């Protein structure tokens, strides 16, 4: 497809606590954009503090999509994200605006940007149930070791506790005899159907970790403990996909009386730092990304100037 025929798309991604939210509002106001969240947790209602969800008063009039729309009981995955995001994009284009995809879930961003096809590995129910049973009986680490044997590259970017992703990769190998890491690599090499710019916002590691610790302390002050208690009182079970998010799952030990509150908070900080590290590893493997290192800029306006310049150069937006 001719580059000029492609529709414009802007992506702003990067690790958690990098400052994407504030920057995305400034960018949307500057270029006439609407924001689509590529965050696997901010999509859920009632989960505001632990997801660092943007609140309506912070949106500054900029329309946001895929934020606060699903019940915590519902499952949200990359296929559903892709479907919902495409629908939002159609509406945004109809209004003559530019979609800005914002969030740190790299796989979601990639799936949308390169229109990855997931229909080729709709899993066999029977095998999936077998793997789920194995995880219950022998633990997630057992499945993770199996994954390391058949697809070490995918295992390297997946946490052993993310049983859902481990099962998906094992399913794919079982069905096709091929590695999911190779399938994803092939899909990544597809040409994007969009005229796009993908910005990765980052800090130096020490500053990023400081910001993460500060954010978690702030969440506790805002009432994160009460938020998680409230969800459990409303009947949301701890095995739900939503309740397995960082900032929620760590409290179960505290509620069971096996872990102190101080240890719980430290665990959230540690898990968030590890998550940020995995996010950065993911973004470094991606092609066609533009790194925006925050420490190289004095003010957010300078970053917006640079981004605007890139968008003009790529023919995505004109002043």
Task: Give the pLDDT band (50/70/90) at residue 25.
Answer: very high
Q: Higher-confidence residue: 168 or 10?
A: 10
* pLDDT higher than threshold 60 for residue 239: yes
* pLDDT higher than threshold 90 for residue 285: no
d(CA 291, CA 313) in angstroms, rounded, equals 16
Q: What's the mean pLDDT when you consider all of the chain?
A: 92
Q: What is the mean pLDDT of residues 285-300?
A: 92
Burial classification of residue 5, based on how many CB atoms lie within 10 Å of its CB (0-12 exposed, 13-18 middle, 19 or more buried): exposed
Q: What is the DSSP letter of 114?
A: T
Confidence at residue 134, expressed as pLDDT on a 0 to 100 scale:
87
d(CA 85, CA 79) in angstroms, rounded, equals 10
| pLDDT tens per residue across span 151-177 | 999 999 888 888 888 998 998 888 888
Confidence at residue 264, expressed as pLDDT on a 0 to 100 scale:
98
Contact 147/158 with Cβ under 8 angstroms?
yes
Task: Give the pLDDT band (50/70/90) at residue 135.
Answer: confident
Confidence at residue 119, expressed as pLDDT on a 0 to 100 scale:
66
Number of Cβ atoms within 10 Å of the Cβ of 37? 28
d(CA 305, CA 84) in angstroms, rounded, equals 30
Confidence at residue 297, expressed as pLDDT on a 0 to 100 scale:
94
Confidence at residue 50, expressed as pLDDT on a 0 to 100 scale:
97
- Residue 170 tokens read as 């094992």
């Amino acid at each position: 497809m001719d580059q000029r025929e492609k529709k414009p798309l802007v992506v702003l991604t990067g690790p958690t606590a990098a400052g994407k939210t504030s920057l995305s509002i400034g960018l949307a106001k500057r270029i006439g954009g609407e924001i689509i969240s590529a965050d696997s947790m901010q999509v859920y209602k009632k989960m505001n503090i632990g997801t660092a969800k943007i609140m309506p008063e912070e949106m500054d009039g900029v329309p946001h999509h895929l934020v606060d729309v699903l019940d915590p009981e519902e499952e949200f995955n990359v296929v559903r994200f892709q479907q919902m995001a495409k629908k939002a994009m159609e509406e945004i284009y109809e209004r003559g605006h530019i979609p800005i995809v914002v969030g740190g879930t790299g796989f979601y961003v990639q799936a949308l940007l390169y229109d990855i096809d997931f229909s080729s590995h709709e899993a066999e129910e029977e095998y999936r149930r077998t793997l789920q049973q194995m995880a219950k009986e022998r633990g997630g680490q057992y499945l993770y070791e199996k994954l390391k044997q058949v697809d070490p590259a995918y295992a390297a970017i997946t946490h052993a506790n993310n049983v859902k992703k481990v099962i998906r990769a094992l399913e794919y190998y079982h069905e096709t005899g091929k590695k999911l890491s190779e399938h994803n690599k092939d899909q990544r090499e597809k040409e994007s159907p969009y005229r796009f710019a993908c910005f990765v916002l980052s800090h130096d590691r020490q500053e990023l970790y400081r910001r993460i610790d500060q954010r978690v302390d702030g969440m506790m002050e805002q009432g994160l403990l009460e938020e998680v208690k409230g969800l459990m009182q409303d009947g949301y079970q701890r095995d739900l996909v939503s309740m397995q998010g960082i900032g929620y799952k760590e409290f179960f030990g505290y509620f069971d009386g096996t872990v102190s509150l101080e240890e719980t908070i430290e665990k959230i900080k540690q898990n968030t730092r590890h998550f940020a590290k995995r996010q950065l590893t993911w973004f470094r493997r991606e092609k066609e990304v533009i790194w925006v290192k925050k420490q190289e800029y004095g003010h957010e306006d300078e970053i917006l100037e640079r981004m605007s310049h890139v968008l003009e150069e790529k023919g995505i937006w004109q002043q």
